[in-house]
Amino acid sequence: MEHLVKLPEGLPSFSHIYHNDFVGRKPKKMKDDDVAICFCKYDPNNPESACGEGCLNVMTSTECTPGHCPCQDHCKNQRFQNCEYAKTKLFQTEGRGWGLLADEDIKAGQFIIEYCGEVISLEEAKHRSQSYEAQGLKDAYIISLNSNYFIDATKKGSLARFINHSCLPNCETRKWTVLGETRVGIFAKVDISSGTELSYNYNFEWYGGATVRCLCGAANCCLFLGAKSPGFQAYNHVWEEGDDRYRVEEVPLYDSAEDEPFPRIPETISPFKFESLDGLEADYSQKLEVGDVFGQELDSSNTVKLHNSVQVGGTTTNTEKAEVLESGKSKEEDMQQAFYQTSAVLSGLRSNTASQNFNVGSGSSPKKRSQRLPKQKKRSTGGKQSNTKNIAALFPSKEAQEEVRKYEEMKNQAAANLKSVYDEIRPAIEKHERDGQDNVPPSVGTKWVGAHCAKYKADLNFSASVIKNFLDIAQKGGSGSKAGTGPKASGSGDPPKE
Ligand SMILES: C[S@@+](CC[C@H](N)C(=O)[O-])C[C@H]1O[C@@H](n2cnc3c(N)ncnc32)[C@H](O)[C@@H]1O
């Protein structure tokens, strides 16, 4: 593999490695008892049978161990170990140093490359970040592996070290267990065509304030690398023309743990699945009130996607989707997957919140406002909510407007509650980390999952209410809509009257 990659001229020197290099400790040696063995059986007529999506190890983000996998050489679940990378190419960006391009079409979900570097301890990470800071290094390459270990790709690394940050990324980081060690991979979030720059959201915890101005150019850009972190947002930065891109007095450690501020419950989990999970019944088994909607995007942009997926007069609506799970799997298969996913959410909670509290050297403690910020203006904090703000006003009837507003209000309350639960459980997570224990107390996990579920439920109810009212209008052929303001149903056989 190594000989295939020719590095371009002018690239700052670094040592190109394909496997992590352990500093201060040896990589774990797996005992036979610790090896996770799947139940796959290779069927020559079905290549997917050899550790494809249905493989127990794949479902738990664990690679199969050579010599132990029942599919032997046919096993497809050893991508990190075999460096099964997508073709990529280095290029020079404008203002963001070097970047990495897709050099072939890449499919959503595909493993692109491993983020390799030196595996170092927390102490070493602190020490190195201070030293890089002192040397005036502008580019930061340290990511968090878990609460105790970090990957530093500054001196030694794979080409993943060149992937830049974007607030609207086409890739994400995922952690896999490979031969007993955690490793970080870059995976495609969407289909990526050849020639497109690869990016992921660094989302590192930022206590030191403005350091690197984000030049990703996305419409939703957070302005600074790491600006999604709560510590940073509190200040509502707005960059002024003429300010330098870098303030080098703080070199960040960023966290690859999650691309979102909170662990995400996978979109394909539907509420009924929680009914079977011990201890979680109480709040999550409730039926959705206004048409259950599964398989839709659940983020703040859901209103846009709703417009796309409602084909009035056609056959596809989100309410119809409720009958079928997006995965196309049986209920049992999905229940099993839900269990694994929920476990992953809980462990994500631990690693995410732990690393978010990691303070680095002099950049770790919040500085006084005047020290931190070149100049500031107040920015609207309404950001996310404004996406849905005027949806209610689009509906012609008062009843529809009131209903949509009611669900919108509930949605906002649930979001606020999730945020406060996050603040509340944070000390418990920190304490647990300090004690070196592996699991957070179940009550903390339950609270967290509960707040998440409540938020998703509120989001779903809001979306369902919007769909329902859209469909009402369509069924009535648009009659009663305010001239020029009612939603117009494209593709409808019976267009709304103006
Ligand atoms: C992991 S390195 C990425 C590769 C880097 N561009 C290089 O030339 O080696 C991270 C550094 O790249 C720069 N960078 C990455 N994404 C950026 C963005 N969206 N805007 C501005 N600078 C960015 C920052 O200096 C950051 O510390």
User: For residue range 384-399, what is the model confidence (pLDDT) as tens digits?
Assistant: 343 445 778 878 888 8
Instruction: Please state the atom number of ligand 1 nearest to the C-alpha of residue 251.
Output: 27
Superfamily name with CATH number, domain 2-31+88-261:
SET domain (2.170.270.10)
- Over the stretch 156-167, which tens digit does the pLDDT of each residue have? 999 999 999 998
Which pLDDT belongs to residue 48? 84
27 vs 373, more confident: 27
Which pLDDT belongs to residue 462? 84
pLDDT at 5 exceeding the cut of 50? yes
256 vs 178, more confident: 178
pLDDT at 312 exceeding the cut of 70? no
Task: Report residue 224's pLDDT band, with 50, 70 and 90 as the boundaries.
Answer: confident
Which of 132-136, 233-237, 457-461 shows the lowest per-residue confidence on average (mean pLDDT)?
A: 233-237
96 vs 474, more confident: 96
Average pLDDT of the residues in 329-341: 41
Task: Report residue 113's pLDDT band, with 50, 70 and 90 as the boundaries.
Answer: very high
- 216 CB near ligand 1 (under 6 Å): yes
- 173 CB near ligand 1 (under 6 Å): no
Which pLDDT belongs to residue 445? 73
Inter-axis angle of helices 442-475 and 331-356, to 10 degrees?
120
Task: Report residue 409's pLDDT band, with 50, 70 and 90 as the boundaries.
Answer: confident
- pTM recorded for the entire structure: 0.54
- Over the stretch 249-306, which tens digit does the pLDDT of each residue have? 333 444 444 444 333 333 332 322 322 223 333 232 232 222 222 222 223 332 222 2
Domains of the chain, by residue range, sit at: 2-31+88-261, 271-351+387-475
Task: Report residue 90's pLDDT band, with 50, 70 and 90 as the boundaries.
Answer: very high
Ligand 1 centroid – CA 164 distance (Å): 5
Give the best-scoring range by mean pLDDT among 113-122, 136-145, 226-235, 334-343.
Answer: 113-122
Pocket test for ligand 1, best of 92, 164, 239, 254 (most atoms within 8 A of CB): 164
pLDDT at 100 exceeding the cut of 90? yes
Pocket test for ligand 1, best of 133, 137, 138, 139 (most atoms within 8 A of CB): 139
Average pLDDT taken over every residue of the chain: 67
339 vs 110, more confident: 110
Which pLDDT belongs to residue 472? 82
Task: Report residue 65's pLDDT band, with 50, 70 and 90 as the boundaries.
Answer: very high
With a cut of 0.85, is the ipTM above it?
yes
Task: Report residue 431's pLDDT band, with 50, 70 and 90 as the boundaries.
Answer: low
CB 164 within 8 A of CB 141: no
464 vs 327, more confident: 464
- Over the stretch 341-374, which tens digit does the pLDDT of each residue have? 433 333 333 333 222 222 222 233 333 333 233 3
CB 467 within 8 A of CB 317: yes
Which pLDDT belongs to residue 474? 77
Instruction: Please state the atom number of ligand 1 nearest to the C-alpha of residue 161.
Output: 1
CB 1 within 8 A of CB 83: yes
Ligand 1 centroid – CA 381 distance (Å): 26
Which of 59-73, 139-153, 316-330 shows the lowest per-residue confidence on average (mean pLDDT)?
A: 316-330
Ligand 1 centroid – CA 91 distance (Å): 13
Average pLDDT of the residues in 172-183: 95
- 161 CB near ligand 1 (under 6 Å): yes
Average pLDDT of the residues in 462-477: 82
Which pLDDT belongs to residue 193? 98
Which of 143-147, 244-248, 457-461 shows the lowest per-residue confidence on average (mean pLDDT)?
A: 244-248
pLDDT at 378 exceeding the cut of 60? no
Ligand 1 centroid – CA 139 distance (Å): 6
